[in-house]
Amino acid sequence: MSATTLPKSSAPASGPARGAGPAVRRSTPLRRRRSRAAWGFALPFVTLFMVFTAWPVVSSLLMSLTDIKSRDLQNPFAVNFVGLNNFKAVLSDELFWQAARNTGYFVIVGVPLVMFVALMIAVGLNTGITRAAGFFRVGYYMPVVTSIVAVAVVWRFLLARDNGLINIALSWFGIQGPNWLGDANWSMPALIMMAVWRSMGTLIVIFLAGLQGVPTSLHEAAALDGANAWQRLRNITVPTIRPTLLFGAVITGIGYLQFFEEPFVMTQGGPLNSTLSVSYYIYKQFGFGNYGIASAMSYILFLAIVLLTLIQFRLLGEHDRRPRRRPRRATAVAVSVPKAGSAR
């Protein structure tokens, strides 16, 4: 008799082999008919997506690698391949960097501000206001569906230097209001106030949906333990609706990085390019006929959006902090195997 070591985790001889792939479904006539019907219903969307989304994206990527201009549309064969020269030209453009700084200022200040204001209003609507709650919800959401032209007219009247309502209200307290839209130091804060008022309605609706999923028993237990309202908000409400906060931060950050309407209708990028955004600068480059440069700027903005989204997922996303278990190694055991030809 001799002892031969065999792994303890060896599979039995009978039964299906481990690691075998899943069974392949056989294509039946009914399954083929359903597949054709499904593709028939999806064909309109696929067609519109390929024509109006996929093809423009691919075209802009190709244009960012060429020196195409508006005059080349009649003779596309005169376009030359320039590689990454457009991206180098964009990164060496001082006006582009000023637009990038303006956009970063708008995002860094505006996103946390609108999320904080929307969360406080949502908490008040969810717990404090019981009567006419629907009226307030509709009222806060009205700016979202209001035309930007109407919003611009109202805010121009509010931010007027001499007879604006904001400066008149400040004069009641002995404060001389600034020239909101004509001063380079105050033009961006004015646009941030306008953007917060206009976009917080969407976040209020999203946060209300998340707050309704917070168990009231947790708040009642914390209140019995002596926790005040701020402690319950910080330790119970915010951690519970963390996925909702992440969703709101992502969609708001993407929208604020692409902010275009506010400077377009309010300041045209002025004064002294203090409100010039990257999207508005891209729009101007397309208007000038510099299609290659504008496409390169668009992809740089796309990379900035991806980077901001990754940072938000890193800060607000769920992280598995449990230590990873090391895989167990197969232990060897001694099994007695008779030699060939040996008598029992």
From residue 331, how far is each of 7, 17, 86, 334, 337 by CA, in Å?
6, 21, 60, 10, 18
Q: Token pair for residue 190? A: 């004015």
CB atoms within 10 A of CB 190: 23
Give the separation between CA 231 and CA 40, rounded to whole angstroms.
55
Threshold 0.95, pTM exceeds? no
CB atoms within 10 A of CB 240: 16
| pLDDT, tens digit only, all 344 positions of the chain | 444 444 444 444 444 555 555 555 667 888 888 888 999 999 999 999 999 999 999 999 999 999 888 887 777 777 889 889 999 999 999 999 999 999 999 999 999 999 999 999 998 888 766 677 778 888 888 988 888 888 888 998 899 888 889 999 999 998 888 999 988 999 999 999 999 999 999 999 999 989 888 888 888 888 888 888 888 888 888 888 999 999 999 999 999 999 998 899 899 888 899 999 999 999 999 999 899 999 999 999 999 999 999 999 998 877 655 555 665 655 444 444 455 444 44
Give the separation between CA 180 and CA 157, rounded to whole angstroms.
11
CB atoms within 10 A of CB 285: 21
CB atoms within 10 A of CB 115: 19
Give the separation between CA 79 and CA 102, rounded to whole angstroms.
33
Give the separation between CA 264 and CA 195, rounded to whole angstroms.
13
